[in-house]
Amino acid sequence: MRRPGQWPLAAQLALAFALVTVLALGGSGALLLYQSSARLLAGRAESTLAWGQAAAGLAAEYWSDPREGMTLALYRFHQQSGIRPVVVDTDGRVVADVSSETPLLGERLTHPELQAALAGRTATGTRRLSTGEWVMYGGVPVVVSGEQVGAVLVAAGIGAVRDAQRDLLRQLALVAGAMAALAVLLGVLLARYLTRPLVRLRAAVARLARGQLDARVEPGGSSELRDLGHGFNRMAEELGRLDQQRRAFVADASHELRTPIAAIRALAEPLLSDRPIDVAVYKEHLHDIVHECERAGRLVNSLLELARLDMRAESRSQVSQAAEPIDLRRVAVEVVHALEPLAAERGVRLAILPGEPVMARADAHLVEAVLGNLVENGIKYTPRGGAVQVSVGVNVDGDRTEGGASLSAGSERAGAAERRRRAGGERDGAASQRPVAWIKVADTGIGIPKEHQARIFERFYRVDKARSRATGGAGLGLAIAAEAAARLGGRIHVASESGRGSEFTFTLPL
């Protein structure tokens, strides 16, 4: 059996609404019953004391003749009022009683109301007799010539008051029952209305869990539920986008890996034939196989680097723990030194411009990943006889207008990039308030057409696929640089024109 906490939310809301209503009605009904009973009893006590004072007046008038005159006068009083008076002396002994069934003459009474009356005070009290009847007693002093000579005890039935209380209780119970039923009905309707968005959201979550990434909900209900619905839709859209990226990434990676594998197979199959093969052709095929293996290895290394960057994106604490004070110029010198053999092989002049040390707190491995991919990209797409230059600096005032030494077309490209950035509203407000370090990589290569510049940081995107494969590229270098820059909290800006080279600027907040 389910516990109440395990019931559906609609049932819990309906039950809670009904309980609150019943408790509120019960509490108010009990208060009303108490106050009504108190008013009825107070009115009855007032009338009882009034009859008691009247009886005390008759007793005082006939005090000298209690057996004849007083008894007769009190009997008449009893006949008119229906109230039984009993008169006692100062010792509490009965001197007059109108009852013929249970006469109390000569007996000593100890009723609290009578004791209070003998002490000179009027008092009332209610008690239940052995017969089950409720009676109200009232005690009133009897004063003759300014001296108290006894007291009168009167008794009045209060069955009518008790009947009125029971009637009121029944009416309250009927009203409370009807209101409780109505509260349950309203609670169910209200709970269904309130939980309808949650039911839709639960169904959408179940669809999403089954892999239906197009699951959406129509936000409704309270403002919190509407915000929850919008948040779910945004989450589903993001999951769909990530799934599309994953599928595209897997497809692109499979395609890129299939190309060198197919080439290796095509080169290896002739070597397995029984036909005699010239040694030069044999060596050429082996050389091409080694080249394709190296190409596949570079692709796998790039994929692993992207995977590591994605893992770092999921744990920012790892990025902050790996950060340490580093000299960006020293890192740039090491990267340039490591890539000088590649530049010499392609006939490209690679140099780093002189300058002062620039200290920053960052992950050195990520900075090397950004700079290494930018420099390698510049070398690959710069024709023989061209140049790639690296410069490092800091803008103390936070202005990102690109300045300093660069290639001949660098200042013009930087100015154009700045104008485009301002027109596009890309200025970072935080960067304008804090100093930033920058590392520029400028080349005299083939340049990037404007229509491709917005997509060059996408994974596997290549401006000229045939030319990229010829240079050994898979479209991952700039994607790795962009991911590493994002992990560092920096950005990469590009300024390029076809046939005039490119300039990449990596900015890092200090």
Spatial separation of the C-alpha atoms in residues 143 and 66, rounded to whole Å: 14
Please check whether residues 261 and 396 belong to one and the same domain. Answer: no
Q: What is the CATH number of the domain that holds 35?
A: 3.30.450.20
Please check whether residues 369 and 451 belong to one and the same domain. Answer: yes
Sign of torsion over alpha carbons 450, 451, 457, 461: negative
Exposure b/e, 173-184, CB count within 10 A at least 16 = b: eeebeebbeebb
Please identify, among 260, 293, 314, the residue that sits at the C-terminal boundary of a domain: 314
Please check whether residues 301 and 355 belong to one and the same domain. Answer: no
Cβ–Cβ under 8 Å, residues 292 and 264 = yes
Please check whether residues 268 and 329 belong to one and the same domain. Answer: no
Six-digit token pair at 73? 């006068």
Q: What is the CATH number of the domain that holds 411?
A: 3.30.565.10
Please check whether residues 412 and 464 belong to one and the same domain. Answer: yes
Asked if residue 186 is part of any domain, the answer here is no
Please check whether residues 357 and 276 belong to one and the same domain. Answer: no
Asked if residue 64 is part of any domain, the answer here is yes
Domain that holds residue 72: 4-163
Please identify, among 163, 189, 223, the residue that sits at the C-terminal boundary of a domain: 163
Asked if residue 182 is part of any domain, the answer here is no
E-state strands within 69-165: 84-89, 94-97, 123-128, 134-144, 147-157
Asked if residue 207 is part of any domain, the answer here is no
pLDDT at residue 189 in the model: 80
Cβ–Cβ under 8 Å, residues 360 and 510 = yes
pTM of the model: 0.47
Please check whether residues 290 and 365 belong to one and the same domain. Answer: no
Please check whether residues 39 and 135 belong to one and the same domain. Answer: yes
Please identify, among 314, 347, 369, the residue that sits at the C-terminal boundary of a domain: 314
Please check whether residues 63 and 152 belong to one and the same domain. Answer: yes
Domain count, the chain: 3
pLDDT at residue 419 in the model: 39
Please check whether residues 159 and 218 belong to one and the same domain. Answer: no
Non-local CB neighbours of 323 within 8 Å, separated by 6+ positions: 361, 362, 363
End-to-end CA distance of the chain: 62
Please check whether residues 253 and 390 belong to one and the same domain. Answer: no
Please check whether residues 455 and 328 belong to one and the same domain. Answer: yes
Asked if residue 111 is part of any domain, the answer here is yes
pLDDT at residue 310 in the model: 64
Burial of 363 (0-12, 13-18, 19+ CB in 10 A): buried
pLDDT tens per residue across all 510 residues of the chain: 455 556 677 777 777 777 887 788 778 878 887 788 788 888 888 888 999 899 999 889 888 887 778 888 888 888 888 888 999 998 888 888 887 666 788 888 888 998 999 999 999 988 887 777 888 899 999 999 889 999 999 988 877 777 777 888 888 788 877 877 887 788 778 777 777 887 888 888 888 888 888 888 888 777 777 888 888 888 888 888 878 777 776 776 676 677 678 778 888 888 887 777 788 888 888 888 887 787 677 667 767 776 666 665 554 545 555 678 889 999 999 999 988 988 998 999 999 999 889 998 888 888 888 998 899 889 988 999 999 999 999 886 444 434 333 333 333 333 333 434 443 444 444 444 578 899 999 999 888 888 888 888 877 776 665 444 445 555 677 888 888 888 888 899 999 888 888 999 999 887
Spatial separation of the C-alpha atoms in residues 3 and 67, rounded to whole Å: 75
Asked if residue 172 is part of any domain, the answer here is no
Spatial separation of the C-alpha atoms in residues 471 and 369, rounded to whole Å: 19
- 3-state SS, residue 87: strand
Asked if residue 203 is part of any domain, the answer here is no
Spatial separation of the C-alpha atoms in residues 294 and 381, rounded to whole Å: 19
Asked if residue 184 is part of any domain, the answer here is no
